[in-house]
Amino acid sequence: MSVTSTCDVAVVGGGVIGCAIGYRLAKSGLSVEIIERDGIASHASGNAYGGLYATFGPGIPGPALAVAKKSSELHEQLDPEIESVSDIDTEFRPSRSIDVAMDEAALKEVNANADWWESEDLPVERLSAESILEMEPLVTPNIVGGVRHLSHYEVDSYKLTLALATAFERHGGVIRSGNVVSLVTPGEVTLESGSAISAPVRIICSGPWAGANEIAGIPNLPIRPVKGEIIRLSFPGDDFSHRVVNGRPYIARKPDGLVWIGTTDEEAGFDETASASARDSILAGALDLAPALESAVIEQHTACLRPTSADGLPVVGQVDDGLYVANGAGSKGILYSHMIAEWIADSVLENADSIPTEFAVSRFL
C-alpha cells in the first residue's frame, strides 16, 4: 500500500462532529486531515434544524443535562470565533421557542416541565393563550396556554459545519475526498482508491455508518440511523418568528425567510429519501397548529439520518492506541459538537480523560 500523505491526525467524516474536532486540533498546531466521501455537511449535519436546547432530549433531565448546558455555552463562546475565522455567518442567535398546549392535560405537563427548567436555571416565561396569539396570530385559537423558552439558541447547521470546515482549513487543515475502508493497520487509514494516509491518531466521526461495519478494524458499536425529515415552506410575511412547538410538530421561520416544519423519527435503515408519508404527517402536524399554512408552498423537503446509540447518548473516546470514536450524537449532534471536540482534544493533546462515563465509548466495549 503506498502512503500518499502523512499527518498527525486523520479524521474520518466531514459532518459537524468531524469538522469541530478537526478545527480544535488544527488550531492547536497539529497537522490534521479530514477524509469525507460525499461532501462536507452532505448528510444530517447539513440538514438538521440547528436547535441548541438543553431542555429536552435523551438523558434530559438526567446525566446529559449538565453536558447540554455546557455545550450551549460553548456555542456562545465559539460560534462568533468560528464566524470571524471563516467569514461565514453561522446564524447563531437566540431562538424564541414556545411550547404550546392544546388542552388542560398538556398544559399541566408543560407547566410541570417549566418547574424543573426554572429549577435548573433554564429560564422560561409562562404565557396565556391570548398572549401567544398576540405574538403569533396564525396559531390555532384552540391552544390553552404555553411556555416560552429564554435559554434556547439556534444556528444554521449547514453554515455552522461549513464555517468549522473553512476555519479548519484556515488553520492549515486539509480536507480530502475519499471513502475510508480500513483502519486495520496501526497508524494508517486506507481509502477505497488504494491510497493510504499515515496518521498516529485516527478519529472515527462517520455518523450512523460507524455502526454499519463498512470500515475494517473499527469496534462493533451499537449505533444505528434514525431517519428524520423536515419541510421548508415559502409563506410571505413575518409570522412564526417564534418557533411554535406542539409536542413533536413545530413551525419556525428561519433567517432564510422560509418557514421550517418538522419532524419525524423513523427506523428505515440507511434510506435518505424524502417520503410521501413523512410529508403528509409533517404537514398534518403543522396545519393542526396553524391552519393558515394551507396556502404555503413547499420549497424543499429533506431527509437524513441521526447517528443514534443504544442509549441515545454520544459515544466518545479512545478504543485502541491512537484510535478514537466520536459518534452517536443522535438528535443533539449540532448542540454537542463543540463539547465532543473539547473531550477529544483533551485526550489527544493532554492525555486527559474529561469524558463523563455516560458518554464514554467504554460503556459499549
Ligand X SMILES: Cc1cc2nc3c(=O)[nH]c(=O)nc-3n(C[C@H](O)[C@H](O)[C@H](O)COP(=O)(O)OP(=O)(O)OC[C@H]3O[C@@H](n4cnc5c(N)ncnc54)[C@H](O)[C@@H]3O)c2cc1C
- List residues binding ligand X (CB under 6 A): 12-18, 35-38, 42-45, 48-51, 179-180, 205-207, 209, 214-215, 228, 230, 262-263, 304, 306-307, 327, 329-335
Report the nearest approach of ligand X to the CB of residue 108 (Å): 26
In the complex with ligand X, the residue whose CB is nearer, 100 or 183, is 183
CB of 277 to ligand X, least distance (A): 15
* Helix (H) or strand (E) segment spanning residue 10: strand 9-12
Cβ 140 vs Cβ 293: under 8 Å = no
Least distance to ligand X from the beta carbon of 314, Å?
A: 9
Cross-strand bridge partners of residue 124: 149
User: C-beta of 271: minimal distance to ligand X in Å?
Assistant: 12
Half-sphere exposure of 218 toward its Cβ, with a 13 Å CA cutoff? 28
CB 98 within 8 A of CB 138: no
Closer CB to ligand X, 88 or 107, in the complex: 88
Please identify, using beta-carbon distances, which residue of 99 and 145 lies nearer to ligand X.
99
Give the neighbor-by-neighbor strand order of the sheet with 153-154. 51-52, 153-154, 93-94
Output 54 or 114, the one with its CB closest to ligand X.
54
Spatial contact of 286 and 228, defined as CB atoms under 8 Å apart? no
Tell me how far, at minimum, the Cβ of 130 lies from ligand X, in Å.
29
Residue 58 or 333: the one with the smaller Cβ distance to ligand X is 333
CA distances from 134 to 29, 127, 129, 296 (A): 52, 11, 9, 21
Say which amino acid occupies 348.
V
Specify the residue, 12 or 114, whose C-beta has the smaller distance to ligand X: 12
CB-based contact 52:155 (threshold 8 Å):
yes
What does the block give as the cell for 62? 438526567
Please state the closest distance from residue 47 (CB atom) to ligand X, in A.
Answer: 6
- Shortest distance, position 127 Cβ to ligand X, whole Å: 22
Is residue 327 helix, strand or coil? strand
| Cα dihedral 333/336/342/344 (nearest 10) | -40
Between β-strands 188-191 and 196-198, what pairing exists: parallel, antiparallel or unpaired?
A: antiparallel
Please report how close the Cβ of residue 269 comes to ligand X at its closest, in angstroms: 14
Q: Which residues contact 148 (CB under 8 A, 6 or more apart)?
A: 96, 97, 98, 124, 125, 127, 242
In the complex with ligand X, the residue whose CB is nearer, 18 or 187, is: 18
Burial class (CB in 10 A: 0-12, 13-18, 19+), 351: exposed
Is the Cβ of residue 48 or residue 345 nearer to ligand X in the bound state? 48
Nearest CB to ligand X, comparing residues 131 and 320: 320
Name the minimum Å distance from CB 135 to ligand X.
22
How far are the Cα atoms of 234, 293, 294, 360 from residue 298, in angstroms, in the given order?
Answer: 7, 10, 10, 41
Q: State the cell numbers at 226.
A: 434514525
For residue 305, give the C-alpha cell: 439520518
